[in-house]
Structure 1
Amino acid sequence: MGNMIKKQASEKLLIIMMLTVTFSSMSILLFNFVLPLISEEFQLTNSQVSWVTSAYTLIYGIGTATYGKLADRYKLKNLLTFGLILFSFASLLGFFSTSYWLLLVARCLQAAGAATIPATATLIPIRYFPIEQRGTAMGTVFVGTALGSALGPVISALVVSVVDWRWLFCIPLFLLLTLPFFLKYLGDERGADTSLDWLGGALLALTVAQVLLGVTNGAGWFIGGIVASILFIIRIHSTKHPFVQPKLFKDKKYSTYLVLAFLITGIGYSLFFLTPLFLADVQKLPASLIGFAMVPAAVTSAILNRQGGKLADSKGTPNLFFLASSLLIVCFFLLSTLIGSNALYMALFLIFGNVGQSFMMIVMSKSISTTLPKEHAGVGMGLLMMQNFISGSIAMGIYGRAVDIEASSSWNPFLQSSNGTIYSNIFLVLGILHVVILIVYKLKVHKKYKILND
């Protein structure tokens, strides 16, 4: 009877976490579509107004690893309470902002609070569900990511069509309604009472910040990032209680999956970054319809995510990896070949890609979670979330430069239209990369670690 009550509480906690992730995902995207309005109101250049989203992403990415480390020591409910309250306070600050700098401060504080959410979202399946149910739990949590991606553009368009863009800050306030449930269902588990390596954490944050800034502001920042990373490595090898235990990276399974996740995430960002561009440039869709064209893929991902998690639990993560990889390969080759076709076909192809990418997130998250000792689960999963932002930022920088290149010829012999040649070439390369990743996974990762029955 006690186990049944505990299971029901865990399921309720999972649903609340999924809803929280939905609002968190939405908050990342909401302001992407109103940057022109903000720029016009405050008389800003494109580079100035871009900090509304860039600063948020930067702090959010760094914060996921930081809160992950803190979760190895402090109660998860305390961290989440702090994060949600800070997120809500910052949202109110943004709603009443009358200057650009106040708006920017509000977005930075929002990110600092919201970063607790992905850290918590990855730890709840690990702490509250046995390994044989972990894939289903992670799939349920990632439903929120898909829903947020689907609802973000639509809600943003609806809100600004009726009221001022500042009302977008009110949407995250609904997260306060989830706080009583977290306080009820989250336990009082906490890690070892060891000292925190704040210098090591600062060096890691400095490394990430300079790498992300290097993507948009030039190679000089990358040099600073290399220096900071060297200092970080020296620090974690020379202090008694480092921010990240060096042995974590010496674990070949963890390191291999982290690199694999980095590559897969970077490729997956093409679906979110390039889709609005080619729908406008090639399909000539108006801005008002582009967001709606992406909704079917996001909704389908949300519906199938839990089933993907169940497949990972029942058949093993390698089987889900092969399915996800196949869906992504099909998506990229269809986009490359039929890029000039009807926009309805594009929406259909994106369903394959979005579902495949969502399944990949489940595979990587579950696989990495099985390599982590309990005392390092927080920082280990936090690093996974952080590298997702690094990979995505670097990938978007590469895609942005690639799109600006004038393609004189198509690399895809089956391309049926001369429109969108550069997009066709990019998607062809990404499809080939996924073929290579699948082969490497089959020959090296899957065979070496024998995780068919994990």
Structure 2
Amino acid sequence: MDTYQLISEEAKKKLLIILACSLVFSSMSATMFNVALPVITKELFLTSSQSSWIVTSYMIVYALGSVSYGKLADKYKLKNLITIGILLFSLGSLLGFLSSSFPLIIISRVMQAMGASVFPASAMIIPARYFSPETRGRALGMTSAGLSFGVAIGPIISGVLTTGFHWHYLFALCILPIVFIPLFRSTLDNQSGSDIKLDWVGAILLGGMVTLLLLGISSNQMFYFLFVILFVILLMWRIRKAKDPFIRGELFKNKKYTIILVLFALSSGIGFALPYLTPLFLSDVYHINAFTSGLIMFPGAALTALLSKRGGSLADKRGAAFLGYIAVTAYFVCFINLIWLVGKSPYFIMVILVFGYVAQSFFQMTLANMVSHVLPKAETGVGMGLFMLTNFIASSIATTLMGTSITRGTSFLSLNMFNLANQAAVYSDIYLMLTVIVVVMFCIFVFTVGKKTYSRNLKENV
């Protein structure tokens, strides 16, 4: 019996709603503290490097957890993993709400991330496991809507709670997902995965490699990358020697899957420019505060949440490749217009950001749908986990590169043909480079996974 017949259609609808609501809290927790960092830094007398760990520690563990839960889902009951994840997330949130010292806050953020990372893994696994190829796009659309809505309201809720109450209430809000535990347990099946022996050595090597890579990126310290190279060598050795490695080498021999990962890395990198660069240039160029920046960004993310289900349905009817072409086109419209709109009316910025947010959501749905087709069922869990891990690594690299360009503070391409102020021209240059990356993505997509013959083969292979 196919796994998508394990639960009833009624249970599937209920499961998607619960999962989407959980993803709202997961994505909110990842973004809310960015807005509150200045207040926390001042109140606890922290340095900028210390306060950055409130975000960095969360992202490192969140990235590792997404692939770890994906691998564990191949062995253990998914309902039990989600239960453990929610408990860790809620307990970490409670600890953070009661904490007033920096070390305890970091511990609470790590606990939050250990729990919250079960949600992005589940957002990929549940549609692939329980929904048929004909309905999988709509399922991915619902999960994408939850992620997008959390990103949309995160900065606004953070601004309200931080200014109107206290930043501790950001933790209090994240205790609420504990109510989802009985709902998940009543809808998910009791089937366990295959009886495989987990390769903990491989997991530790992967974790060490990712941690050192993200630390090197965030701190811009080269010696971290020397250790990254060492861990990569050891991980490759482990993959070759272990009988059942944490990550199978065959996974990367799958050319279709590898191309999808490359495309997702590029999409994640340029997509992160929306929540990262927008508040910065709104502050630097327009001198707008964080709360107002959140209001300007809200329509794009909110509309994306509303359109995500429609995008999923479109993928089911016209094929994932068709949705991918819409996404890449929307990316191009967004970034090529931002080249000259920076420095113009912020209302124009608010409108054009809609295209970028929609593109990011639609392209993730496209690639996730394709991953669910090109991987064998036995490798879906860890494959989806690596898919999400790619997102965090690419976003971290993009953040460092964009941050370095902004720190330089001068326009290196001199796009003042648009009569931009120098600070606006810096951001304009970055958006020009992102537009070039979009063109590269389009070319890769057209000649590989976006081919009509490829889309047809996906349906035949199911």
TM normalised by structure 1 equals 0.96
Cα gap change, 1:139 to 1:357, in 2 (>3 Å): same
Equivalent pair of 1:305/1:359 in contact (CA under 8 Å) = yes
By how many angstroms is 1:453 displaced? 6.6
Aligned to 2:357: 354
1:116 aligned to which of 101, 115, 118: 118
Equivalent pair of 1:446/1:452 in contact (CA under 8 Å) = no
Q: Give the number of equivalent residue pairs.
A: 453
**In 2, Cα distance between equivalents of 1:413 and 1:311:** 41
Q: Which amino acid is the alignment partner of residue 366 of structure 2?
A: V
**In 1, Cα distance between equivalents of 2:143 and 2:414:** 39
Cα gap change, 1:119 to 1:393, in 2 (>3 Å): same
2:274 aligned to which of 271, 275, 287: 271
By how many angstroms is 1:415 displaced? 2.5
Of residues 251-260 and 280-289 in structure 1, the stretch that sits farther from structure 2 once superposed is 280-289
Matched, 1:139 2:145: no
Unaligned runs of 5+ residues in structure 2 are none
By how many angstroms is 1:405 displaced? 2.4
Unaligned runs of 5+ residues in structure 1 are none
- Encode CA deviations 1:6-64: one digit per residue, 9 max, x unaligned: 11110110011000000110011121111122222221100011101100000000011
By how many angstroms is 1:4 displaced? 12
**In 1, Cα distance between equivalents of 2:346 and 2:201:** 51
Matched, 1:10 2:12: yes
What is the DSSP-based 3-state SS (H/G/I as helix, E as strand, rest coil) of the residue aligned with 1:451?
helix
Q: Which amino acid is the alignment partner of residue 287 of structure 1?
A: A
**In 1, Cα distance between equivalents of 2:147 and 2:400:** 22
**In 1, Cα distance between equivalents of 2:379 and 2:37:** 39
What is the DSSP-based 3-state SS (H/G/I as helix, E as strand, rest coil) of the residue aligned with 2:326?
helix
**In 1, Cα distance between equivalents of 2:7 and 2:263:** 38
1:287 aligned to which of 268, 273, 290: 290
Aligned to 1:90: 92
Q: Which amino acid is the alignment partner of residue 209 of structure 1?
A: T
**In 1, Cα distance between equivalents of 2:197 and 2:415:** 56
**In 2, Cα distance between equivalents of 1:47 and 1:228:** 25
- Encode CA deviations 1:366-386: one digit per residue, 9 max, x unaligned: 111111111111101001111
Cα gap change, 1:423 to 1:435, in 2 (>3 Å): same
Aligned to 1:336: 339
By how many angstroms is 1:353 displaced? 0.6
Of residues 423-432 and 34-43 in structure 1, the stretch that sits farther from structure 2 once superposed is 34-43
**In 2, Cα distance between equivalents of 1:133 and 1:352:** 25
By how many angstroms is 1:443 displaced? 2.2
By how many angstroms is 1:410 displaced? 4.5
Aligned to 2:177: 175
What is the DSSP-based 3-state SS (H/G/I as helix, E as strand, rest coil) of the residue aligned with 1:445?
coil
Aligned to 2:395: 392
Of residues 308-317 and 70-79 in structure 1, the stretch that sits farther from structure 2 once superposed is 308-317
- Encode CA deviations 1:387-409: one digit per residue, 9 max, x unaligned: 11011011100000011224346
By how many angstroms is 1:283 displaced? 2.2
By how many angstroms is 1:412 displaced? 4.7
**In 2, Cα distance between equivalents of 1:428 and 1:69:** 38
Of residues 437-446 and 360-369 in structure 1, the stretch that sits farther from structure 2 once superposed is 437-446
By how many angstroms is 1:417 displaced? 2.8
Aligned to 1:163: 165
Q: Which amino acid is the alignment partner of residue 297 of structure 1?
A: G
Of residues 412-421 and 55-64 in structure 1, the stretch that sits farther from structure 2 once superposed is 412-421
**In 1, Cα distance between equivalents of 2:417 and 2:326:** 24
Q: Which amino acid is the alignment partner of residue 257 of structure 1?
A: I
2:329 aligned to which of 304, 326, 344: 326
Of residues 183-192 and 15-24 in structure 1, the stretch that sits farther from structure 2 once superposed is 183-192
Structure 1 consecutive aligned stretches of length 4 or more whose deviation exceeds 2 Å: 405-419, 443-449
**In 2, Cα distance between equivalents of 1:348 and 1:162:** 28
**In 1, Cα distance between equivalents of 2:41 and 2:6:** 54
Q: CA RMSD for the aligned pairs?
A: 1.8
Q: Which amino acid is the alignment partner of residue 351 of structure 1?
A: V
